[in-house]
Amino acid sequence: LFLDNRAMLDKARALWKNGCPNAAVGLLSRILQLEKSDPEVYFLRGCCYSEMRDYPSALEDFDSCLRLDPSDPEAHLEKGNVHQYMGDRETAIRCYEAAQALDPFCANAVYNLGSMYLDAGDPAAAADCFLRVIQLRPWDADSLNNLAVSYAYMGREEEARSLLERAVSIDQNHEDALVNLRLLQRQSFRKP
């Protein structure tokens, strides 16, 4: 990118981070009129479109980014998120798997993959994912809660209870963990 384009890219990123994705898209589109070979511009514009819920445009930009840089795990992750928002589970899973294969430490991809498996009724596969996330982020109360839910579905209530207590010790206001802990204590946790 030229220096002026780099400054516009930085300004667009700041606009997006400050909750102005529409304005950021305008700047990013101006950059793309001059320079179409920077995957970062497509990635950022895809993130803006995703935030604006313009999913077809977001997918188009993530695809452009990945054509230029197929090894970008964040682009695969964000593309997976868009497919998940659109209800396309299979493609979302493939995108999350691609992100995780490119970067085994991409905890968000592994977390999202676990959530997809849990929603699909595969608690064992979900548990494997959430265990990996907890190895990367041991303070992640959401992952502890979801691992506990996976274990509860698998009949491992004591392990689930211990994980939920740990999640609540990390985040005392974690509503899902508090509700799930009460359900386990009442032995009324529903299995899929």
Which of 72, 103, 134 represents a domain boundary (last residue)? 103
Verify that 135 and 164 share a domain, yes or no. Answer: yes
Verify that 39 and 118 share a domain, yes or no. Answer: no
Q: What length is written for the chain? A: 192
Verify that 181 and 130 share a domain, yes or no. Answer: yes
pLDDT at 2 over 70: no
Tokens of 103: 């970067």
Verify that 14 and 95 share a domain, yes or no. Answer: yes
72-97: pLDDT as tens digits:
999 999 999 999 999 999 999 999 99
The total of other beta-carbon atoms located within 10 Å of residue 31's CB is 23
pLDDT score, position 185: 85
Whole-number mean pLDDT of the chain? 94
Q: Would you place residue 53 in the very low, low, confident or very high pLDDT band (cuts 50, 70, 90)?
A: very high
Verify that 3 and 29 share a domain, yes or no. Answer: yes
Which of 59, 85, 103 represents a domain boundary (last residue)? 103
Verify that 27 and 57 share a domain, yes or no. Answer: yes
From the CA atom positions of the chain, what is the Rg in Å?
Answer: 19
Verify that 56 and 26 share a domain, yes or no. Answer: yes
pTM of the predicted model, to two decimals? 0.85
Q: Which residue range forms the structural domain that includes residue 43?
A: 1-103
Please compute the mean of the pLDDT values over residues 88-113 and round it to a whole number.
95
Q: What dihedral angle (degrees, nearest 10) is formed by the CA atoms of 140, 103, 115, 52? A: 100
Verify that 127 and 80 share a domain, yes or no. Answer: no
